[in-house]
Amino acid sequence: MIAVEQWQKDIKESIDDVETLEKMLGVPAEEVREIVEQYPMRITPHVFKLIREKGDSIWKQVVPTAEEDHPDAACDSEDPLHEEKDSPVPNLVHRYPDRVLLVITNQCPIYCRFCTRKRFVGSPGTLTPENLKQVVDYISAHTEIRDIILSGGDPLMVVDMLLERVLKALRAIPHLEIIRIGTRVPGTLPSRITENLCNMLKKYHPLYMNLHFNHPDEITPEVAKACGMLADAGIPLGSQTVLLEGVNDDPEVMKRLMQKLLSIRVKPYYIYQADLVKGTHHFRTRVEKGLKIISALRGHTSGMAVPHYVIDAPGGGGKVAILPQDTLLYLDDDQAIVKNYEEKTFKYSQPNVPKEVNKDAASFWVVPHDTD
């Protein structure tokens, strides 16, 4: 008989029906029943303990609301990133030249109310041996692919044996250099990070993980321990954060999150502008807020704590980095004029290169500036 692990018990004890939600958090069942039928809910015991009051930053991420049913012309697509269009074989997305994304399960430890894959997460579905063979055959035939991201759902929601089956098959492809795992498990189901899991994962290096965190309250001692175990297994850890209205759209909150992530050995990697996903309009912020946050981070904390701020372009355009436009004020053959976090300007002299050699000179847009 296979022993049930603690993380599997935690999943069984999660809030996943509207009657339990009403009992535990006081949300009237009938107000959200239809929402949960369309978009599943799961709140692990760990995340439940983090909720301090109704409507706080943890509550908003996991508790369903009738707002998810409100129409919005801008958020009318179930697949705004055109992942299905860019899927050459089932479960695989090939958008960028040298890397692919593999969905190995539809299950997650929690169901974020703003999820970009809201259209299918929570439904039955795990990568089958037949699907895996198709994926391996496709990657083997495309030698330009050197990097794969395991996603979902959440890859760490499958048991060790099944996850290793996938990793082993991928590691057998000679030109596939990098394996990455995108997961929210360490922050929402830390009991899943076990010694057995870590011992298995470190057999498949180079292996990287991008962890999903949105608020500093998510960084608890249990989470720090889980991340430490992964880091001790030699896995470089990065973070991905979604900019969310009323959750983290504040420079000080975001700075505390990034600093706390570094303290648990997680390097901030991305802040995402919320995707245009059906049922998520109430989480969207204006792009100006994201730029304000990046400006508030740069120079005011370690550069290690400053992630890339990106928009995953609708229609399958891929990630586009968004930067404050007022740092490079002027650029010509002789000098660059830059502005720092204190609003002070500085001149940087260019090396002397003949114009016919400087092929990059015309490729930059420059803000007009008085150089005197």
Q: What secondary structure, in 3-state letters, does 207-232 show? A: EEEEEECCCHHHCCHHHHHHHHHHHH
Write out the two tokens for 79. Answer: 């697949």
Q: Catalytic site residue 275?
A: yes
Q: Catalytic site residue 341?
A: no
Q: Catalytic site residue 69?
A: no
Q: Catalytic site residue 95?
A: yes
Q: Catalytic site residue 146?
A: no
Q: Catalytic site residue 96?
A: yes
Q: Catalytic site residue 360?
A: no
Q: Choose the catalytic residue: 42, 117, 184, 260.
A: 117
Q: Choose the catalytic residue: 112, 118, 260, 270.
A: 112
Rg from Cα positions in the chain: 22
β-partners of residue 298 are: 301
Q: Catalytic site residue 198?
A: no
Q: Which residues of 288-323 are buried (b: 16+ CB within 10 A; e: fewer)?
A: ebbbbbbbbbbeebeeebbbebbbbeeebeeeeebe
Q: Catalytic site residue 319?
A: yes
The span from the CA of 319 to the CA of 340, in Å, is: 26
Taking alpha carbons only, the member of 221, 265, 261, 225 closest to residue 241 is: 261
Q: Choose the catalytic residue: 79, 115, 180, 260.
A: 115
DSSP, residue by residue, 246-305: TTT-SHHHHHHHHHHHHHTT-EEEEEEEPP-BTT-GGG---HHHHHHHHHHHBTTB-GGG
Q: Choose the catalytic residue: 10, 154, 249, 312.
A: 312
Q: Choose the catalytic residue: 33, 96, 208, 269.
A: 96
Instruction: Find tokens 């990070």 and name the residue.
Output: 193
Q: Choose the catalytic residue: 33, 99, 267, 339.
A: 99
Q: Choose the catalytic residue: 95, 165, 265, 292.
A: 95
Q: Catalytic site residue 72?
A: no
Other beta carbons less than 10 A from residue 267's beta carbon: 16
Q: Which residues are catalytic?
A: 95-96, 99, 108, 112, 115, 117, 275, 312, 319
